[in-house]
Amino acid sequence: MADFWKRFKRNRGAVIGLAILLAVVLIAVFAPLLFPQSPWKMVQRPFLPPFAMDRFPLGTDTLGRNVIAGLAYGARVSLLVGLISTLVSLLIGIPIGALAGYFGGRVDDALMRFTEFFQTVPNFALAIVLVAIFEPSVQSIVGAIAIVSWPPVARLVRGEVLSLRSREYVEAAILSGQTSITIIWRQILPNTLSPIIVLASLMVATAILLESSLSFLGLGDPNLMSWGYMIGAARTVIRQAWWLSFFPGLAIVLTVLALNLIGEGLNDALNPRLSRKGK
Amino acid sequence: MLRFIAMRLVKAAIILIAIVTLNFFLIHAAPGDPAAVMAGEAGAADKIFLEQLRAQFGLEKPLLTQLGLYLVGVLQFDLGFSYRQQMPVADLIFDRLPATVLLTITAFIISLVLGTVAGVLASARVGKWSDTLISTFALLFYATPLYWAALMAVLVFSVQLNWLPGFGYETVGGGYKGFDRVLDIAKHLILPAGTLGLFFMAVYMRMTRASMLEVSTLDFVKTARAKGLKPGIIQRRHIFRNALLPVLTLAGLQAGQLVGGAILTETVFAWPGIGRLMFEALAQRDYNVLLGVFFVSAAMVLLFNLITDILYRVVDPRIRVS
Question: Does position B98 have pLDDT exceeding 80, yes or no?
Answer: yes
Eight-state DSSP code of residue B76: T
CA distance B156 to A264: 32
Size of interface A-B (CB pairs under 8 A): 136
CA distance B117 to A134: 44
- A275 confidence band (pLDDT: 50, 70, 90): very low
CA distance B231 to B216: 11
- B322 confidence band (pLDDT: 50, 70, 90): very low
A110 touches chain B (CB under 8 A): no
CA distance A158 to A152: 10
pLDDT at A130: 93
- B274 confidence band (pLDDT: 50, 70, 90): very high
Q: What is the pLDDT of residues B14-30, one digit of tens each?
A: 888 888 888 888 877 77
pLDDT at A277: 42
pLDDT at B170: 76
Interchain pair B147, A213: CB under 8 A:
yes
Q: What is the pLDDT of residues B287-311, one digit of tens each?
A: 888 888 999 999 989 888 888 888 8
In sequence order, what are the residues at sequence separation of 6 or more whose Cβ sits closer than 8 angstroms to the Cβ of residue A64? Answer: A42, A43, A44, A45, A46, A48
Interchain pair A216, B253: CB under 8 A:
no
| Cβ atoms of B274 and B93 closer than 8 Å | yes
pLDDT at A236: 85
Residues of B in contact with A278 (CB under 8 A): 209-210, 213-214
CA distance A28 to A171: 48
Lowest average pLDDT, out of A137-151, A174-188, B162-176, goes to B162-176
Interchain pair B298, A117: CB under 8 A:
no
- A276 confidence band (pLDDT: 50, 70, 90): very low
Residues of B in contact with A279 (CB under 8 A): 126
Whole-prediction pTM value?
0.88
Overall average pLDDT of the A55-67 stretch: 80
Question: Does position A48 have pLDDT exceeding 60, yes or no?
Answer: yes
Nearest to A124 among B31, B148, B263 (CB): B263
If you measure CA to CA, which chain B residue comes closest to A204? B143
Give the distance from residue B175's alpha carbon to the nearest chain A alpha carbon, in angstroms. Answer: 26
CB pairs under 8 A, 24+ apart, for B294-297? B294/A122, B294/A125, B294/A126, B294/A128, B294/A129, B294/B19, B294/B23, B295/B16, B295/B19, B295/B20, B295/B23, B295/B74, B295/B79, B296/B79, B296/B93, B296/B97, B297/A122, B297/A125, B297/B259
What does pLDDT average to over chain A?
A: 88
Q: What is the pLDDT of residues B197-228, one digit of tens each?
A: 988 888 888 888 888 888 888 888 888 888 88
pLDDT at B45: 59
The fraction of chain A above a pLDDT of 90, given in percent, is: 47
What does pLDDT average to over chain B?
A: 82
Overall average pLDDT of the A131-146 stretch: 92
Amino acid at B302: L
- A186 confidence band (pLDDT: 50, 70, 90): confident
pLDDT at B8: 84
Residues of A in contact with B255 (CB under 8 A): 122
Give the distance from residue B159's alpha carbon to the nearest chain A alpha carbon, in angstroms. Answer: 7
CA distance A205 to A257: 8
Residues of B in contact with A119 (CB under 8 A): 253, 256
Interface-testing mutation among A217, A237, A260, with chain B (most B C-beta atoms within 10 A): A217
Overall average pLDDT of the A72-76 stretch: 92
Q: What is the pLDDT of residues A97-122, one digit of tens each?
A: 999 999 988 999 999 999 989 988 89
Nearest to B256 among A121, A239, A261 (CB): A121
Question: Does position A158 have pLDDT exceeding 90, yes or no?
Answer: yes
Overall average pLDDT of the B110-127 stretch: 85
| Cβ atoms of A143 and A134 closer than 8 Å | yes
CA distance A162 to A103: 9
Give the distance from residue B140's alpha carbon to the nearest chain A alpha carbon, in angstroms. Answer: 7
Interface-testing mutation among B33, B151, B301, B308, with chain A (most A C-beta atoms within 10 A): B151
B271 or B243, which is more confident: B271
Give the distance from residue B153's alpha carbon to the nearest chain A alpha carbon, in angstroms. Answer: 11
pLDDT at B306: 86
The fraction of chain B above a pLDDT of 70, given in percent, is: 92
pLDDT at B58: 67
Interchain pair A256, B260: CB under 8 A:
no
Interchain pair A128, B278: CB under 8 A:
yes
In sequence order, what are the residues at sequence separation of 6 or more whose Cβ sits closer than 8 angstroms to the Cβ of residue B322? Answer: none
- Give the CA angle between residues A222, A228, A233 to the nearest 5°: 70
Interchain pair B143, A256: CB under 8 A:
yes
CA distance A16 to B256: 32
Interchain pair A117, B18: CB under 8 A:
yes
Helix (H, G, I), strand (E, B) or coil at B81: strand
Q: What is the pLDDT of residues A238-255, one digit of tens each?
A: 888 888 889 999 999 999
| Cβ atoms of A57 and A167 closer than 8 Å | no
Short-list A233, A118, A209, A211, CA closest to B199 = A209
- A153 confidence band (pLDDT: 50, 70, 90): very high
Question: Does position A57 have pLDDT exceeding 90, yes or no?
Answer: no
A205 touches chain B (CB under 8 A): yes
CA distance B204 to B109: 11
pLDDT at A22: 95
A231 touches chain B (CB under 8 A): yes
Q: What is the pLDDT of residues A23-37, one digit of tens each?
A: 999 999 988 888 888
Question: Does position B56 have pLDDT exceeding 80, yes or no?
Answer: no
Please, which residues bridge with residue A56 across strands? A53
pLDDT at A278: 39
pLDDT at B192: 93
A106 touches chain B (CB under 8 A): no
pLDDT at A8: 83
pLDDT at B206: 84
CA distance B64 to B53: 18
Q: What is the pLDDT of residues B58-90, one digit of tens each?
A: 666 777 777 887 788 887 778 877 777 778 888
